[in-house]
Structure 1
Amino acid sequence: MVGRKATNKVLVPPDSPLAAPALKDQSLCFSYEIARGEMGVLSFEPYKGLILPYWAFRTVPIAEKSAEILWTIFESYVERGDLVGADMTRKFIQMGMTRARRYANHKGGRKYGEDGKQLEKWTDDDVDGKRKEKEEASEVFKAYWRRCIASESYVQLKKDWSKAKKQYLDAQG
């Protein structure tokens, strides 16, 4: 089943491992770009649609549950040898960290105004604790992101995938 959220906004983990379409489709697998940071995370289908329902950071408890679910998805993709799924999940975890941080730094999460100029950072007192909550949510994701990039299996999978992609592209001419 694709990701689902309960009506009380509690994230529910997937019933079974998410699909790994890149394992069956070389052209999909090697059209993927690891890229820098979280680039491409919201555009590479079908993985975006598979993983996105589990990504949320509105409150610390929601961020904790989301990061935990995303970590299990990441591990599942690594175990199955699906670099694309693992890296996309790593990007969602990283995006949880950066987006929550942006909401901590800028009211409403907007870094740039309609004119394209950078908005000033939040300067008000944090009377409601919303800024602190977003900072804490960011730290939750940051801890999981560090686990992702420190995973020896993931690092090796990335090396193997990069080598295989080069061979695939060389063979394509």
Structure 2
Amino acid sequence: MSDLPEDDDGEYEHDFRADPDPYRVGRGEQGVFKVQPYKSELLPLWGYADPETAADAAEAIYERFLRYRREGEFVGMDMARKYLQMGYTRAMRYAHYPGGKKYDEDGNERETVHWADPEKRKAALIFDHVLDRVRSDGTYQERKREWREERG
């Protein structure tokens, strides 16, 4: 995927719905802001400001995951998983670090605080719960295994 040309916004100049073959599962949240048209479909649903926002976002993204599953779009399923994972990691950063600032002005990692922002922790746990549902989904697991075997 990293060999694909990028536009001025850093997105891949590629429609992964029309041609999903170049997509690689990767680690973590890799490609979450680059893979179109899924970025345009999922990013507007995503938010973690508070538990209510997180619950709405996680449910909307999960519904989109189910739609992608019904339509046989593995790339969309995996991108939905990445947005849920990103909701968890971003909210947890704010839960652990005051103001979400992981590094000080010298670039050194700050000490974590348990819990610097308890509301963000609640938001993170909402995403984590839904993320577990996606990761344990049998269809997702099978398609991910097949995708990696066929494409890497």
Q: TM-score, normalised by structure 1?
A: 0.73
**Which residue of structure 1 lines up, in the alignment, with residue 137 of structure 2?**
151
RCO (CA 8 Å, sep 6+): is it higher in 1 or 2?
2
Cα distance between partner residues in 2 of 1:121 and 1:163: 39
Asked if 1 retains the 8 angstrom alpha-carbon contact of 2:16 and 2:23, the reply is no
**Which residue of structure 2 lines up, in the alignment, with residue 133 of structure 1?**
119
Question: Where does structure 2 lack aligned partners over 5 or more consecutive residues?
Answer: 1-14
| Matched residue SS, 2:117 | helix
The alpha-carbon deviation at position 115 of structure 1 amounts to 2.9
The alpha-carbon deviation at position 46 of structure 1 amounts to 2.7
Change (3 A) 1:34 1:114: farther
Question: Where does structure 1 lack aligned partners over 5 or more consecutive residues?
Answer: 1-20, 167-173
**Which residue of structure 1 lines up, in the alignment, with residue 148 of structure 2?**
162
Q: CA RMSD in A?
A: 1.9
Given the alignment, which residue of 100, 109, 122 partners 1:109? 100
**Which residue of structure 2 lines up, in the alignment, with residue 22 of structure 1?**
16
Cα distance between partner residues in 2 of 1:45 and 1:112: 31
Q: Indicate the percent of aligned positions where both proteins have the same amino acid.
A: 36
Highest CA radius of gyration, 1 or 2? 1
Given the alignment, which residue of 65, 70, 83 partners 1:74? 65
Q: TM-score, normalised by structure 2?
A: 0.82
Cα distance between partner residues in 1 of 2:96 and 2:58: 21
